[in-house]
Every structure is written in structure tokens, then in C-alpha cells.
Structure 1
Amino acid sequence: MAIHEVEFKSFNEIETVKGWIYTPIREPIGVVQIVHGYGEHSRRYLHMILTLNEAGFVVAADDHVGHGKTAYDSDNWSNWGDKGYMTMAEDEQKLRELIKEDYGDLPYFMFGHSMGSMIARLYATKYGEELDGLILCGTSEIFPEMENIVSELKAEIDAGNGEQVDPDYQNRMFEWMTERIENPNTPNDWISKDPDIVADHANDPFNNFTSVPNIQSLYQFAQMIQQILGTEWSEKVPTDIPIYNIAGDEDPVGRYGEGVYAVSNWLLETGHQVKTKLYSGYRHEIHNHREIRDEVVAGIIDFITEHARVKAN
């Protein structure tokens, strides 16, 4: 495996996004672009990246504005810019353009986890022609209280407070995630039943759950969620993109499976090809849980290998 560091100017015209392209040692058969979630960074997917490389896939990933190495280098964890909710999706297209320079003829797949799945779903509405397959992991339907939070955030922005940081809004967005967990040890126990994974997440200097995005940035995050609801969203996604929708059935982000199936049903109602798989007894980060991560990645590889082969033929 070879690792190539890349960087490019963000769509927000403020940040320089840091990214990486991981290449296999043999002739590649396709490309997978990994889109990470809220409050984390792309190198938390190294197990998946290495396994995909071994299977013959080039892997590309970046750290979003306000996240990971991008934020670490600029010391800007709070401000995602003022260019709107498509900023991160547009940055993924910029990374895609870099990939095209060397691997433009290969089948191309996007994997998005959590907020990354929201970004991928937005990406598919504008750049769906770029995709040969889409993998959604830990995706969402709607968060409780989101309409009220959106209205309050918009009022704050209209009052000129968009660049202020108020942890209360982020707390309200996420505090309900542990409601079904008996005696949670931390507010982030919804991530995984494995305490080592939760601790690793908390101790990672490139994660930023403690560095709260400003009001304008949280408003963009909330708008992402609002823009990917119902058949109004799925009818904008090209119907020839095969989609693999996976999650844990104890994941609150996907409303314990109900929200995951809602997303798949929207897609089915608008004529899409969707395969849905829930992992029983697991929470949000199924791709990191040591008991099942090999099985999860194997399922992803089976999906993308099948559709890479279809394109090649």
C-alpha cells in the first residue's frame, strides 16, 4: 500500500482540506471514496481502508472542514464557512476530481458513515452520474426536535450571532442518543457497546466533540438532515445507482432500524435498487466494532466487487 497526501481549497474558500489516497499493491479494480462522520476524521477507517486495498480498491478520504487534520492544522474547529449545507459535498467532489486524474476509468463508489452518509446522499443528488454504487452506513431519517432547533438557529443567525458558539444546541441534537441505554458510562455510549471504541473516540486528538461548531455551522448540519428526507430527496438521486444501506439495529441515529428502512423505502418508492442490512445487537459504529467489523467490510466488498464487475462487462 502507498499513501499519497493531497490538499485542496475548500468550497468555503477559507480552509485547505487535507486528504489521502491509498493505493493497493496490485492493479486496482475500482475506487472507494470514504466520507467520515460528525466529530471524527478519516483515519478512523484505517481497518476498512487496508481491507479495501487488499481487495484491489484505491481508497480516497479527506477530513472535512472543522474536522481532523484539516481543523488541526488551521486550528479552526468551529467555523465551517458561510457557503451553505452543500460545502462538504462540494469538497467531496473536489477530491473526486483529484482521483479522476489517475483513476478516471475505474468504477467509482462512495461510502458514507453517519454525517458522511448525509453528505453522500446530498452528493448523489448533484453528482450522481459520478457514482457506480453508494454505501450508506449508520444513516439517519430525522433527529428529534430538529425543526425547533433549526428555527432557533436561524433566528440566532438573523440576529447576527452566527459565529458564536453555544454548546447547548449541540447537546440538544445529541443528548437523546443514550435514552435506550441503561446506565450509560459516557454521553457517547451510543457509538458502540465496546468501551474501548468509545474511549478511543474520546481520546483521539483529531476528534472534536468537545470543540463545538458555531451556530452557523450547526445550522448547516441541521439543513443537511432536512435536505435528505422523503421521496423529495430520493427522486433527485439517479435510479441507476445501486445502493447498500447498512446499520446496527441499536443505533439511535437510524432510529433503531426504523429510520434506516425509511430511507430504503423512499429509494424503493422512486425506483432505486437498494439492499438493506441491519446488524442485530450493535450500535452506531458497526464498521469499527471488533466482533463484526470484518463481516461488515466483507459485505461492502461483495457489494462493490459485484457492481465493479458489472461495469467492467
Structure 2
Amino acid sequence: MPTFTDPQGVRIHYQHWRVPEPVAVVQLVHGVGEHIGRYGALVEALNAAGYSVWADDHRGHGQTGFEQHGGDLDRMGRLGPGGLRAAIHDVHLFTGVIRETEGDGVPLVLLGHSWGSLMAQILLERHPHDWDAVVLTGTAYRTPIHMNSGDLNRRHRHLGTTGLEWLSRDPAVAEAFVADPYTTAVPLQQLFGLIEAARLLGRPGRGLPEELPLLIMVGSDDALGGEKSALKLANAYASRGGLADVTLTVYDGARHEIFNETNQEEVRGDLVRWLDERFAVD
């Protein structure tokens, strides 16, 4: 797996799945406690539709975290020196790595899921011209009122015994997460600390590029935010941010990990169609 080294000396591991003459390139930003290996079906679908995909294991996660913590799996998810600010900076550094290889002539799409979508929101405010489209999945409006920072499994705990029933209606998803040595179910606030976790809070910035397309995709039963939070976020990007092309898709009954849901083929299809409408050349 190729790597680049961040300013704190952490080697960030990444992968790429490139196609000849891509329609666009998708930079995938995964969530907390997981890794890019959980996105195989999404990568295959995007490749089949003509999109190259690049994804990194963030500091503290996946192969990056395994090396960073000397193989201590009990420390997975912990970000290390620089904390959240360094993790966000690494995602932006990775954008530069992608641009160096793919060139500036190919559209670059930032796709963030869960924690990755929160970092994507922050990066969009700081570097609004660095991507040609942004996709946020399993996301929320970043205020304590609209984003759940408590027990995400509370309303689903009666459905199983893993403590991860909130992820998907498919029980196999929670079971696989528990069995995966490179994942951790330790809550974000515990992994990062309350001060670091609070750095994720905020609102969409003002004066974003009007022409930048934004897609928000969530399940109606997503414990992190759900439909109301996503609607507030979409409206804020249109009114406060000034974006003219904002799309919100809500999947009835779906939970947090829409790419691992029982209707995941529908979700992948909707994503590809949205991308095609903006980047595909007849």
C-alpha cells in the first residue's frame, strides 16, 4: 500500500483504484473506527461507471493506525500527535497527492461518510475551490442540537446484542464490524477526547462557489442526525453557503451506513446517476 508522510511524521497509507480516462476521480473519506477496506462494493460500482477512486486510512485507522500504534489494535481509532486538526490536514494533503497523479484536468469529487463527512464539511469551508463536487453521507448539521453525541445505539439496542445495530438493518454488517480486527466501536468522544471532538462542531461557511454541486445522502433512521438534521444542513448550504445545486436524498428506514444497507444497490445507483448528470460526457 503506498504512503505519504504528514508533518508529524505519521505515514498515511492509501489505495487507488484507477480506470482509463476516468469521468471523474472520487476521494473517499471514511468514518471513525473503520477503514477503507469496508468500501469494496462502492469502489467496484464507481469503477464500473468510469470513476477512479482514491482513499486513505486516516491516522489512527486501518493500516495507518496499525503502523502508527506499533501493531497495538487496542489503540485503533486514536489519532496521535496533532489530533483532529492533523487528521483533517492529512485529508487535504491527500487531495494534493491525488491531484499530482491525476492532473488538474480531471474533476475531483470529495465523498465523506460519517466522521469523514464532518471533516469534509470543515475542509469545504477552508478550501472551497479544491473539489469539483462534494458528497456527504451519514452526515449531520454540526451542532449539539442536530447531531447526536450520545448513545447512537439507544433506539436500536433491542434489535441485537452487538451494540452496533444502529449501523444497518442488515445484522451481518454489525457482526462483521465486531469481527474485524481493524475496527473499533469505542465512541468518538472517548477516542478523541471532548475538547478534540468539539472541534467538529460548526456551520456551513458563507460565500461558497455557487456552481459547486453538493449531494447529501442519509437514512431516515440514522441515529447521528437523520432526516431533519440533513434537511437543515442542505438548506444551510443553499441559503448560507450560496450553493445553487444542492441535492438531498433520504432513504426511508435506512440507518447510518447507507452503503452497507439492505438497499445499498439503490444507494450506489443514485450516487452514480447524480455524478453522471454532472460529469459524464455523451
Q: Tell whether 2:44 aligns with 1:69.
A: no
Aligned-residue offset at 1:126: 1.7
**CA distance in structure 2 between the partners assigned to 1:196 and 1:50 by the alignment:** 20
Classify the secondary structure of the residue corresponding to 2:4.
strand
1:110-121 alignment runs, 5 A limit: 110-121=110-121
Query: Which of 225, 229, 236 is the matching residue for 1:259?
Result: 229
The reply to whether residue 245 of structure 1 matches residue 216 of structure 2 is yes
Relative to structure 1, the CA distance from residue 27 to residue 292 in structure 2 (aligned partners, 3 Å threshold; closer, same or farther) is: same
Which whole-Å CA distance do the structure 2 matches of 1:288 and 1:146 have between them?
23
Residue 86 of structure 1: SS of its match in structure 2?
helix
Aligned to 1:27: 21
For residues 277-306 of structure 1, give each alpha carbon's deviation from its aligned partner in whole angstroms, at most 9, with x where no partner exists.
Answer: 1000110011112x3111111111112222
Structure 1 residues 216 and 247: CA distance shift in structure 2, 3 A? closer
Residue 36 of structure 1 corresponds to which residue in structure 2? Answer: 30
Does residue 7 of structure 2 align to residue 8 of structure 1? no
Q: 1:67·1:208 contact (CA, 8 Å) conserved in 2?
A: no
Alpha-carbon RMSD: 2.5
Are 1:196 and 2:172 an aligned pair?
A: yes
Aligned amino acid, residue 10 of structure 1: D
Identity of aligned residues (%): 27
**How many Å separate the matches in 2 of 1:178 and 1:215?**
17
Q: Report what 1:167 is aligned to.
A: none
Specify whether residues 253 and 216 from structure 1 end up closer, same or farther in structure 2 by C-alpha distance, changes over 3 A only: closer
Alignment pair present for 1:301 and 2:258: no
1:91 aligns with: 90
Query: What does residue 222 of structure 1 align with?
Result: 198
After TM superposition, the structure 1 stretch with the greater mean CA deviation from structure 2, 261-270 or 76-85, is 76-85
Deviation by residue 1:11-57 (Cα, 9 ceiling, x = unmatched)? 4x042111011112x32121000000011111111100111111111
Q: Helix, strand or coil: the match of 2:224? A: helix
Runs ≥4 in structure 1, deviation > 6 angstroms?
Answer: 211-215
SS class of match (1:128): coil
Corresponding residue for residue 125 of structure 1: 125
2:222 maps to a residue whose letter is: D
Distance in 1 of aligned mates of 2:259 and 2:139 = 13
Query: Given the two structures, how large is their TM-score scaled by the length of structure 2?
Result: 0.88
User: Whole-Å Cα distance in 1 between the matches of residues 112 and 10 of structure 2?
Assistant: 21
Q: 1:264 to 1:87 in 2, by over 3 A?
A: same
Deviation at 1:116, TM superposition (A): 0.6
Distance 1:74 1:37, change over 3 A: same
- In structure 2, distance between residues paired with 1:131 and 1:16: 24
Aligned pairs for 1:155-194 (under 5 A) are 173-175=149-151, 177-181=152-156, 183-185=158-160, 186-194=162-170
Matched to 1:56, the amino acid is G
Larger relative helix fraction: 1
Post-superposition CA distance 1:200-255 (Å, at most 9, x none): 1111111122498767555323311x13x2xxx2316433211000100000112x
Q: Distance in 2 between matches of 1:40 and 1:247?
A: 18
Kindly report which structure 2 residues correspond to 1:43-58, keeping only aligned pairs within 5 A, or say none.
Answer: 43-58=37-52
Residues paired across the two proteins, number: 273
1:108 equivalent in structure 2: 108
Distance in 2 (CA, whole Å) between partners of 1:265 and 1:145 is 16
Pick closer, same or farther for the CA change 1:8–1:52 going to 2, 3 Å: same
Aligned amino acid, residue 246 of structure 1: M
Matches within 5 A, 1:286-297: 286-289=258-261, 291-297=262-268
Structure 1 residues 279 and 132: alpha-carbon distance in aligned structure 2, compared to 1, 3 A threshold: same
Larger gyration radius, structure 1 or structure 2: 1
